[in-house]
């Protein structure tokens, strides 16, 4: 596949702060790529540089094989951007909002009408064409925001946390719509803090922190990088601290947490971890109700790479 986006040695500085530090990555045509990172990692700055909304000190950015610049309008018309903050006109209804944004790119009225109807159907707004934004629920408003950003059928779409604070039905609708956009040929850069969405949607994942590339690859490839092999969870009531300390001494144990009567043991790579744990529980006469083992999730990998400390928003 051809590269849709090429970022090479990108560096962006604000006085003494290096927001982007020699960053390089590629996005192939037709991919959904998850661009992940904790707050302050440089995701938004990177996207703004790619879109030529920010100047940067060093590096090159190409889109569709052509160098991107603020005046590259032939490239920009093929890009759709849906920012996290909803940006629609309160005085226009659903149809007219989509018509306005689509009209910035599509001048032919017949073509534009079809594109608007396609976007309304894709996002599931057929019953709300005449509704004004103040009449819409949070989920519907976010779906309108997406429809406005993709109605002109862009080849490249940036989606910045499109499912924040929406109900499960709206989230499912949005995710299905994103899959359809990819099936229709769009390349998508997707940012989110919901790791389960990344596992559902993304072909590849790029993880940033402090403006640097920490890791990239498929979710399976990233999980293989993790220092943890499995997590074992069990329900145990009133477990004394002395038993937890003893379990920390078991072979391959990386970490143990105990909250709300749920004990979670994270293991480094190794074999027979579950058998050894059950043998210890039996010998210590510790009763438990439920126990299950699972492979590390993308969220586990993300926390291992970026750290567990809280970040400022």
The pLDDT value given to residue 15: 85
pLDDT in tens, 155-191: 999 999 999 988 899 999 999 999 999 999 999 999 9
Total H helices, total E strands in the chain: 11, 14
Q: Is the pLDDT of residue 310 over 60?
A: no
Q: Looking at per-residue confidence, does 11 or 299 come out higher? A: 11
* Residue 81: closest CA among 52, 106, 57: 52
pLDDT mean over 201-213? 96
* Residue 263: closest CA among 224, 299, 227, 289: 289
- 270 is written with which tokens? 């190794």
pLDDT mean over 15-41? 94
Q: What are phi and psi of 61, to 5 degrees?
A: -130, 125
Domains of the chain: 3-223 (3.40.50.300), 227-295 (3.30.70.980)
Distance CA 257, CA 112 (A): 56
Q: How confident is the model at residue 9 (pLDDT cuts 50, 70, 90)?
A: very high
Q: Whole-model pTM?
A: 0.87
pLDDT mean over 63-81? 96
* Residue 210: closest CA among 18, 57, 45, 12: 18
């Amino acid at each position: 596949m051809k590269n849709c986006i090429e970022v090479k040695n990108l560096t962006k500085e604000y006085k003494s702060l290096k927001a982007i530090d020699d960053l390089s990555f590629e996005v192939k045509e037709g991919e959904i790529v998850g661009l992940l990172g904790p707050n302050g990692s440089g995701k938004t700055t990177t996207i703004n540089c790619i879109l030529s909304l920010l100047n940067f000190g060093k590096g090159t950015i190409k889109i569709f094989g052509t160098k991107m610049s603020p005046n590259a309008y032939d490239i920009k018309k093929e890009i759709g951007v849906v920012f996290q903050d909803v940006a629609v006109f309160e005085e226009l209804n659903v149809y007219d909002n989509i018509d306005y944004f689509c009209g910035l790119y599509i001048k032919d009225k017949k073509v534009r009408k079809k594109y608007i109807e396609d976007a309304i159907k894709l996002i599931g707004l057929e019953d709300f064409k005449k509704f004004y934004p103040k009449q819409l629920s949070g989920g519907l408003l976010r779906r309108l925001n997406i429809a406005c950003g993709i109605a002109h059928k862009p080849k490249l779409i940036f989606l910045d946390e499109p499912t924040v604070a929406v109900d499960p039905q709206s989230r499912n609708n949005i995710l299905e719509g994103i899959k359809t956009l990819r099936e229709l040929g769009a390349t998508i850069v997707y940012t989110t803090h919901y790791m389960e969405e990344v596992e559902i949607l993304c072909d590849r994942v790029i993880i940033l922190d402090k403006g640097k590339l920490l890791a990239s690859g498929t979710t399976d490839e990233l999980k293989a990088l993790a220092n943890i092999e499995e997590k074992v969870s069990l329900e145990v009531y009133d477990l004394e601290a002395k038993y937890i300390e003893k379990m920390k001494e078991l072979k391959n144990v990386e970490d143990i947490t105990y909250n709300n009567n749920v004990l979670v043991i994270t293991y480094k790579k190794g074999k027979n971890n579950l058998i050894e744990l059950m043998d210890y529980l039996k010998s210590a006469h510790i009763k438990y109700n439920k126990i299950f083992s699972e492979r590390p999730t993308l969220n586990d990998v993300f926390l291992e790479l970026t750290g567990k400390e809280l970040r400022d928003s």
